Amino acid sequence: MRRIGVLTAGGDAPGLNAVVRAVVKQANIRGVEVVGFMDGFTGLIKQRHKVLDPASISGILPRGGTILGTSNKDNPFNYEGRDLGADIVKYLKELGIECLIFIGGDGSMSVAKSFLELGLPTVGVPKTIDNDLGATDQTFGFDTAIGVATEALDRLHTTAEAHHRIMVLEVMGRYTGWIALHSGIAGGADAILIPEIPFSFDVVARRIIKRKHEGKPFSLVVVAEGARTPEGEMVIARTIADSHEKLRLGGIGNVIGAKLEELTGLETRVTVLGHIQRGGSPTPYDRILATRYGVHAANLAIDAKFGRMVALRSNAITDVPLTEAGVSRPVPHDSDVVKTAKSVGITFGDE
């Protein structure tokens, strides 16, 4: 029987299971067996895999996380100082894997590219709640993350109003502000602070004070974890030595909360939303996008269209060369979404 492989790598995102399920279902319909590799690249290195039969994917569509496990550590080309690339290609050839599908972010796509160069056929599926991958209009997981952040804002709204406070919500997004931008609009934020638009504390404070004078002595501020202070500093929570992406951001919300309290005289509280944004059941939109991606990826693998990453372009599923995949996609300053936010009075702290 023909065989393809699949793995999930990097930080998890709601919808991973929906992709795995779609890959297995479409492959099985076409008479191809799917082998899953466990815990991201760790499964390739430690040779841990299992055949994904229909029973193994039953009931996983609405489940968060990934039945395969994932990891954002263990680089196959530099594992404890050794390059294991050729050994892994041999292992996969012995298993009869015709193509390996990588479901991951930019780091995983660059590993997929390196395996391709070593002679292992690969296909990519773009995953991340951050929505920051260049070659696609949207990654799966993003819609769920903005849903969680929006619910958090709705909840913060009522308590902010009751106590006449400023509520600062710090959301994820790495070096981009997609989650902050979209949840900020959906949740009726008064200020959205993102890495792509440098902000001034005075501008944000003036907006909050103006609201107070208009009889609204409370405000909601959403800040992306990657937003820089006016001095240009990013706030780093920790460094992880053996991770592909070593820096973990976090803490800018507290910096902003303290300063706004000082400048406005309004009591301020800070919420760091964290991994809640990545957990739990995917939204219907993410389940559908993940299923479309999974079916397309299975077909690319089975039809020997290797070295491609599935992508969403103008609402249609397509594929692009893996070489285009690793580019980060910042929020454009002049995007219509930013303009829309400004048109309903949201400040980005820049004007």
Q: Is residue 103 near ligand F6P by the rule CB under 6 A?
A: no
- Mark the segment that binds ligand F6P (CB under 6 A) among 41-49, 57-65, 172-180, 206-214: 172-180
Between 212 and 280, name the residue whose CB sits nearer to ligand F6P: 280
- Mark the segment that binds ligand F6P (CB under 6 A) among 114-122, 125-133, 157-165, 312-320: 125-133
Q: Is residue 173 near ligand F6P by the rule CB under 6 A?
A: yes
Reply yes or no on whether 130 is catalytic: yes
Whether the Cβ atoms of residue 145 and residue 177 lie closer than 8 Å to each other: no
What binding mask, one character per residue, do residues 6-45 give for ligand F6P by CB under 6 A, x or -?
Answer: -----x----------------------------------
In whole angstroms, how large is the CA radius of gyration of the chain? 22
Q: Is residue 72 near ligand F6P by the rule CB under 6 A?
A: yes
Restricted to residues 296-335, the positions that interact with ligand F6P (CB under 6 A) are none
What binding mask, one character per residue, do residues 246-285 give for ligand F6P by CB under 6 A, x or -?
Answer: --xx----------------------------x-------
Q: Is residue 130 near ligand F6P by the rule CB under 6 A?
A: yes
Between 122 and 128, name the residue whose CB sits nearer to ligand F6P: 128
Between 172 and 266, name the residue whose CB sits nearer to ligand F6P: 172
Q: How many residues bind ligand F6P (CB under 6 A)?
A: 12
Measured from the CB of residue 13, what is the shortest distance to ligand F6P in angstroms?
7
Q: Is residue 144 near ligand F6P by the rule CB under 6 A?
A: no
Which of 130, 132, 143, 190 is catalytic? The answer is 130
Measured from the CB of residue 137, what is the shortest distance to ligand F6P in angstroms?
18
Measured from the CB of residue 171, what is the shortest distance to ligand F6P in angstroms?
8
Between 209 and 276, name the residue whose CB sits nearer to ligand F6P: 276
Residues 6+ apart with CB under 8 A from 76: 41, 44, 45, 83, 84, 85, 88, 111, 115
Could you give the CA distance from residue 257 to residue 165 in angstroms, rounded to a whole number?
Answer: 11
Positions marked active-site: 130
By the criterion CB under 6 A, which residues form the site for ligand F6P? Answer: 11, 72, 128-130, 172-174, 225, 248-249, 278
